[in-house]
Structure 1
Amino acid sequence: MKMVVRIASIVVILLSAGSLYYIHQIRTERNGLRVDKENLTTELNTTTNKLLATEKTLQETTATLNTTSNQLVQTIATLETTKKDLATMTEDRDKQKADLADTQQKLQTATAELATAKESLKKAEDTIASQAAEIAKIDGFKKQIASLEEENKTLGNKLETARADIKRMELEIEDLRKTPVGTRGRVAGVETRWNFLVLDIGQDQKVRKDSQFLVYRDNKYICKATIVSVGPNSAVAEIATDGRRADPRVGDIAIH
């Protein structure tokens, strides 16, 4: 019985010691869990902050990406324009190459023609050298021609003066042939049977043959008459039948 009690006491002691140890272990684990929780909380906060920073960075990256995309679109458009310009420049370059080739061909042709021209010039120079004496004669002829031209110039001036004098004389002669406009006279005689009348004006009043006079009486038109002969102070005129309104009378006024 005592043995049982001792064993029971030992068991109780062992259980108590085990309980204390278990309690100690639980406390130790709880403290560890508390520390782990705090660490996890700190890590969670850090991770959350990092996540927020990452989201902000992602938003900024997205905005930058959109901007970059727009710039890329513009760059592509610029690239297309540049390609077109490059194609145009290439085409222009090809044309310039063709023009250059054509110019080179023309240059070669011109060079050949220049060589031919030089050869012809050499022959011409040789010919000119052989004709130096004839050129000297030509110089003499030139001097004679210059002298003749000077004489022709003098004669030309005289000819112009003569032409001016002839023109002036022709005008004077023409003036002498015409009866001055407004010349006025009176009917001095009438012969209606022969359609003639006589005026009291003639050569002294510059009346000329074939001049036409209009006959008036009291400011009324009578007839027309054409001069057929002229004396110093009288003239005979033929009465026109067309437009004749009455027979002329002595004293009627005749106006050229």
Structure 2
Amino acid sequence: MFIGRFLSVVVFVGVVVSAVFGLLIVKQKNQFKAEYARTSEELKKTSEQLEESKVLLERTSKHLEEVKAELAQERERAQKLDNDLKETQSQLADLQQKSESSSSMANQHKSELDALTAKLEEEKKANQEASEKIENLVKEKLALEDSIARLTNELNKFKQASPAVARAVSMRTGIHGKVVSVNRNWNFVVLNIGEKDGLVENGELEVFRNKQFLGKIKIVSTEPSTAVADIVMDSLKGNIQPGDDVLN
């Protein structure tokens, strides 16, 4: 009887244990199903995310290739810009060297121009002084010609009033001089020789140009270094001019 109870207890315990294990197994099975469903859902989401990541990766890879291509272009452009910069720097150096050379030449030319300008100013000043001297000489010459004309006129009047005074005289030979000026109105000349050269009043000289006889002149008045002579009109063979030679 004891054994029967024991067996009953054992069976009961076994049934209880089996029931408990069954419940545990069912619970665990349900947990596994829920875990599997959750895992499947997560796996599905992960797969979808993986597909999206693949698409994003493809896009990223494509964009990366585009960026690489743009980067290569930018590098090529940067290299070209660098080459252009080097060439520009070289040209700038050449231009700077040429500019320095041009500046040096310009300074040299400026110095030469300043020197020429100073020389020109000196020559202009000298020319102005020479012009003033020439003007003064011309005035003196005109005044001298007027004075000579008056003296000659008075002398002619004196000769006409006293014909005996106009006598022929002899002069030493070898006298040589030049005609300084000619007065066409009164037909007389001024000579660059005078008393100290042997000229005397009423003495006669012949006028030549390049050894060609032009006519005779007759001394009417003398100074130490100059003289005035009338042109002997009936002896003329040519037109007497300043610079012609006179001799006897």
The two structures have a TM-score, normalised by structure 1, of: 0.46
The two structures have a TM-score, normalised by structure 2, of: 0.48
